[in-house]
Homo-oligomer: A and B are copies of this chain.
Amino acid sequence: MSDVKKVVLAYSGGLDTSVIVKWLQETYQCEVVTFTADIGQGEEVEPARAKAQALGVKEIYIEDLREEFVRDYVYPMFRANTIYEGEYLLGTSIARPLIAKRLIEIANETGADAISHGATGKGNDQVRFELGGYALKPGVKVIAPWREWDLTSREKLMAYCEEHSIPVDFANKKKKSPYSMDANLLHISYEGGILEDPWAEAEEDMWRWSVSPEAAPETPTYVELTFEKGDIVAIDGEALKPHEVLEKLNKLGGDNGIGRLDIVENRYVGMKSRGCYETPGGTIMLRAHRAIESLTLDREEAHLKDQLMPKYAEVIYNGYWWSPERRMLQAAIDETQGNVSGVVRMKLYKGNATVVGRKSEQSLFDESIATFEDDAGAYNQKDAEGFIKLNALRLRIAAGKGRKQS
C-alpha cells in the first residue's frame, strides 16, 4: 500500500462507488474527495451529495459538464467523422478525458495526491482514466480498487456493505441489472448478461433511449441541421448550444428508432467484447456532417481525413486524448473545417437517418460544370484524353515491358 494522503474519486453515487469511498478510507486511511458530474447520463447528480456526506466525505464536487463535454470533446471528435472499427461512435471513450481532467484539476485544488475510479481491470475505461491522469499530473497516484480488492463477487460486495453500514436499496440488494451500463449525452451502452453470447439477439426491453423501428411513428420527421465550421449550431433554424443540439437530436433520433448498434469490438487490453449501444443523436450528426462535408471539402483533404480517421478513432478509443498524437491529428482535422458550413436536411423514419438535401454558401459543387446539359465550355472534355493518357503512362510502359497485369 503506497502512502496516500487524499484521493479524488470519480463518484457516481451508486452502490459500487459508495463501497469504494469506504474501502479507500479504510484501506488507505486517507481522505476521500468525491467528484460527480452531469455529462448527460440522465440521472440526477445532486443526490450524490447526501450519499457522500453520509460516508463522511468533506469535499464534494458536483458539476454540470454537459456543455463542456459536447463542445470540447464530442464536437471535435465528430469533425473527423470518427468511427471505431467501422461501427462504434465512441460514446464511452469520449467522456473519459473530461472526467480525467476534472479529477486532476480537483486534485490540484484540494491538494490530493491520488485519484481513483470504479472501472474494472478488464476494460478500456481504467486505461482512459489513468492515461489521462498521468498525462495531466505525472506524479499522481492512481488507485483502481477493482484491481486491488477481493470484493470480486456480488455476495462479497453486499457483505461489505452490511459490515460497513452502507445503505443498499432494495432493488440493488435483490438483483443487479443483467447489464453493465454506461450513459452520457452521446450514448448509453450495454454489456454483459446474455450479450456475452455474440449469437444471442439483444432483448427488446434492454434498450432504454430509443423505441424500436417497429414502434416508431408511421410518418417521417424532417429536420434541418445548420453547420458552422464543422459543428451543428442550429436545428430547424433555432440556434442551440452544443449540448442542447445533442439533447434535441437524441430525442428526435430516439423517437424514430434511430441509433441502435450491436457489435463485437476489440478492447485495448487485448480481448474482444460484445456491446450494444444507443447513439440516436450521434448517428444523425455523423451522417449530416459527412453530407455537409461532401459539399464543402476539397476531394483530397476529404480523402486524407478518411485515411487518418481510423488512427484518430484508435487514439481516442485507447485513451490517448491527452496526447501529442491526438493534438497533431486534431490540428489536421480542424484545419479542414473552416468552410464546413451550411444546412443539411434529413429524414428520420423508423431507424433510418437519411440525408435528402444539403446546401452551403461554401459549396464546391459547381452545377455549371457537373451538368449533363450544355456547360457552355466550363469544362473541356478533350482535356480528359491527356489526363487519362498520362495517368496510364506508367501502366502502359509496364505492360509494354511484359509485366503481368492481372
Interface positions of A (Cβ within 8 A of B): 81, 85-87, 101, 120-122, 126-127, 130-131, 134-139, 142, 144, 146-147, 152-153, 180, 191-192, 196-202, 213-214, 218, 220, 260, 262-266, 269-274, 290-291, 294-295, 297-307, 310-311, 314, 320, 322-325, 327-329, 331-332, 334-336, 339, 345, 347, 349-352, 354-359, 362-367, 369-372, 374, 379-401, 403, 405-406
Whether B138 contacts A290 by the Cβ 8 Å rule is: no
Whether A405 contacts B135 by the Cβ 8 Å rule is: yes
Whether A323 contacts B300 by the Cβ 8 Å rule is: yes
Taking CB atoms, residues of chain B closer than 8 Å to A359 are 198-199
Whether B399 contacts A196 by the Cβ 8 Å rule is: no
- Cβ contact of A379, chosen from B81, B271, B295, cutoff 8 A: B271
- A338 → chain B, closest Cβ, in Å? 8
Q: Is the interface of A mostly helix, strand, loop or mixed?
A: mixed
Chain multiplicity (copies): 4
Taking CB atoms, residues of chain B closer than 8 Å to A130 are 388, 392
Closest B residue, CB atoms, query A128: B388
Whether B397 contacts A391 by the Cβ 8 Å rule is: no
What are some 23 contacts across the A-B interface (CB < 8 A)? Answer: A85-B302, A121-B381, A122-B370, A126-B384, A127-B388, A131-B388, A135-B398, A137-B399, A147-B384, A196-B372, A214-B220, A263-B294, A264-B358, A272-B370, A301-B328, A304-B329, A324-B336, A324-B398, A328-B335, A349-B350, A362-B403, A366-B400, A369-B393
